[in-house]
Amino acid sequence: MSTETPTSAPPATITVTVMDAATIFEGPETVYRYDLAGTGIVEGKALGHVMDQIAKIAGSVWPDVDVSVIADPSGTAISREAVTILTRQLNVAGARVQQDVSHAAESTPARSTESVAGAPESVPTDQMDVPMERAEAAPEAGAEAGAGTGTGARAGKGQEAGTRWGDKLRGWIGAIDMFHVAIVVVILAVVGASWWAMSANASDDEDDSDAGATAGSATAASVADSVPAEETGGGGSDGSDGDDGAAGDAGGDGELNPGEKRLDIEGLSVVLPTGFQATVEEGLVTASGKDPDLRILLASDSLFNVPAKALFDEIKAQVDKDPELRDVSEDAGRLHYIEDPGDGSVVEWTIWEDTGHHMSVGCHTRHNANAVQKAACRMATESLSKK
């Protein structure tokens, strides 16, 4: 996706900030290209489009311009490698290049977001204070996701729903301040990938494990009744209640009850029913079990000392205006609201602050959540923490 405003005059200097999952172009106007990620530059898919965007901002004076290429400090080695590749390409084109990997502009979002390379550009929304474009995502992986579970058509509808959610989130970003983008951009990425990611998990070998529930844990009991006992690990080893060899399991953070397993992944720790597995796509975590109608979306982002109330107020105002969002409520420092994407599925969101981080859990079901699905989601919201 892209957020772009045509320039009225060629800039003297163009600043390009490269992140793992987005690229920002700063001149007379600021352009956010979520479809031109650092990963795409490294892979070669986005390099030509990045050069085209710089030339478009420069206008008739291209390539007689100064270009400052910056790696976002919160990014990984991918961003730095992308800066090196882009710098080399600009030198070949004849532009005057300044490379700086030590810092990024204050307005640079600190959160890498997921995007699908090759997504088409779109038109601006009226919800934003800064010029931005709506994105209508067309994921290249849609066909593959449908083949995995036989729900390809449903996956495509879910992707469109995620795109609409992304537009709303970018509207909140503009309403707060570009410095606050990091607070909400993770929600855009999580929901944008939600439905096709729900169908993309391949079936792993099943190992018998203890799925019996104890009388002392009503939540674990209700989930274990509907989720087959399963424990999968990187080496295919058997596990009961979270073996040391099981994928994503980690002990040492408290006793686990029968029917529970701990997932430690992407800097997050969460306790879910036995048999749940987590997949990661560019830093985004989707947890799924045997229930094909349930996916649990997990994310964490630094608040950078911004009060959670500032974000909560913006979301509440947006829910009041948007017919696809409803039932917003705040309870004990947590914000709850429901999204109706329009394809029959439901996303129940819970957001809160934990040790300076913005935590998000999305309970995405194909229909209204039943008691078992709600129990699994409750386990996630009550146990998710930043490691």
CATH number for position 123: 2.60.120.1690
Are 197 and 334 found together in one domain?
yes
The residue out of 108, 137, 160 marking a domain boundary is: 108
158 plus 290 within the same structural domain = yes
More confident residue, 296 or 233: 296
How confident is the prediction for the chain on average, in pLDDT?
70
Q: Judge whether 174 lies within some domain.
A: yes
In a domain, 62, yes or no: yes
The per-residue pLDDT for 69 is 94
Single-letter amino acid, residue 70: I
Q: Rounded mean pLDDT of 229-233?
A: 39
Contact indicator for 291, 272 with CB cutoff of 8 Å: no
| Positions of E strands within the chain | 2-3, 13-18, 23-26, 30-33, 66-71, 96-100, 260-265, 268-273, 277-281, 284-288, 294-302, 325-331, 334-339, 346-354, 357-365, 385-386
More reliable by pLDDT, 264 or 162: 264
- Cβ–Cβ under 8 Å, residues 226 and 292: no
Query: Distance between CA atoms of 85 and 96, rounded to whole angstroms?
Result: 15
Q: Are residues 39 and 57 in the same domain?
A: yes
Q: Report the pLDDT value the prediction gives residue 380, as an integer from 0 to 100.
A: 92
Q: Residue 312 to residues 18, 19, 333: CA-CA distances in angstroms?
A: 29, 26, 10
pLDDT at residue 361, rounded to an integer: 93
Going by C-alpha positions, the residue among 320, 317, 323 that lies closest to residue 341 is 323
CB 25 within 8 A of CB 54: yes
Burial 192-217 (b: 16+ CB within 10 A, else e): bbbbbbbbbbeeeeebebebebeeeb
Average pLDDT of the residues in 339-363: 89
Looking at the fold, whether 228 and 259 belong to one and the same domain comes out as: yes
Pairing of strands 334-339, 277-281: unpaired
Question: Looking at residue 281, what is its pLDDT?
Answer: 84
Distance CA 149, CA 94 (A): 49
**Dihedral angle, C-alpha 345, 273, 380, 20, nearest 10 °:** -80
Q: Which of 108, 141, 174 is the last residue of a domain?
A: 108
Q: How many helices (H) and strands (E) does the chain have?
A: 10, 16
* Predicted pLDDT of residue 20: 87
Q: Spell 355-367 as b/e; 16+ CB within 10 A means b.
A: eebbbbbbbbbbe
Do 136 and 265 have their domain in common? yes
Task: Look at residue 304 and tell me if it is in a domain.
Answer: yes
pLDDT tens profile 302-341: 888 888 888 888 888 888 998 888 999 998 889 999 988 8
Among 156-160, 288-292, 341-345, the least confident range? 156-160
Considering the domain architecture, whether residues 94 and 148 belong to the same structural domain is answered as no
Say if residue 79's pLDDT is above 80. yes
Closest CA to 153 of 161, 139, 143: 143
What's the average model confidence in pLDDT over 108-115? 37
Q: Collapsing DSSP states into helix, strand and coil, what is residue 93?
A: helix
- Residue 345 CA, distance from chain mean position: 19
| pLDDT at residue number 7 | 45
Residue 225 — very low, low, confident or very high, per pLDDT cuts 50/70/90? very low
Instruction: Say what percent of the chain tops pLDDT 90.
Output: 31
Query: What does the pLDDT read at residue 190?
Result: 72
- Answer yes or no: is pLDDT of 48 > 80: yes
Domain end residue (candidates: 86, 108, 130): 108
Identify whether the C-beta of residue 164 lies closer than 8 Å to the C-beta of residue 251: no
Domains in the chain, number: 2
- The predicted pLDDT at position 98 comes to 82
CATH code assigned at 51: 3.30.420
Return phi, psi of residue 31, to 5°. Answer: -120, 125
pLDDT at residue 244 above 60? no
- The Cα–Cα gap between 19 and 71 comes to 6
More confident residue, 42 or 168: 42
Of 58 and 4, the one with more pLDDT: 58
pLDDT of residue 99: 62
At residue 231 the predicted structure's pLDDT band, cuts being 50, 70 and 90, is very low
Shared domain check, 376 and 294: yes
Is 73 domain-assigned?
yes
113 found inside a domain: no
Res. 378: pLDDT tops 90: yes
Indicate if 99 and 128 belong to the same structural domain: no
CA torsion angle 320 324 330 333 (round to 10): -120
Q: CB neighbours (10 Å) of residue 332?
A: 5
40 plus 70 within the same structural domain: yes
For residues 198 and 74, membership in a common domain is answered with no
Condensed to tens digits (0 to 9), the pLDDT of residues 145-158 reads 333 333 333 434 44
Residue 9 CB neighbour total at 10 angstroms: 9
Select, from the ranges 103-107, 224-228, 362-366, the one with the highest average predicted confidence (pLDDT). 362-366
Quick one: DSSP state of residue 214?
A: P
Q: What is the pLDDT of residue 189?
A: 73
Same domain assignment for residues 239 and 145: yes
Cα(146)–Cα(276) distance, integer angstroms:
21
* Gyration radius of the chain's alpha carbons: 22
Q: How confident is the model at residue 165 (pLDDT cuts 50, 70, 90)?
A: low
Q: Which residues have CB under 8 Å from 266's CB, separation 6+?
A: 280, 283, 285
Cβ neighbourhood burial of 44 (10 Å; 0-12, 13-18, 19+): exposed
Mean pLDDT of 205-233: 43
Domain that holds residue 85: 1-108
Where residue 13 falls among pLDDT bands split at 50, 70, 90? Answer: confident
Output 311 or 375, whichever has higher pLDDT: 375
| 246 CB-side CA count, 13 A | 28
383 and 339 share one domain: yes
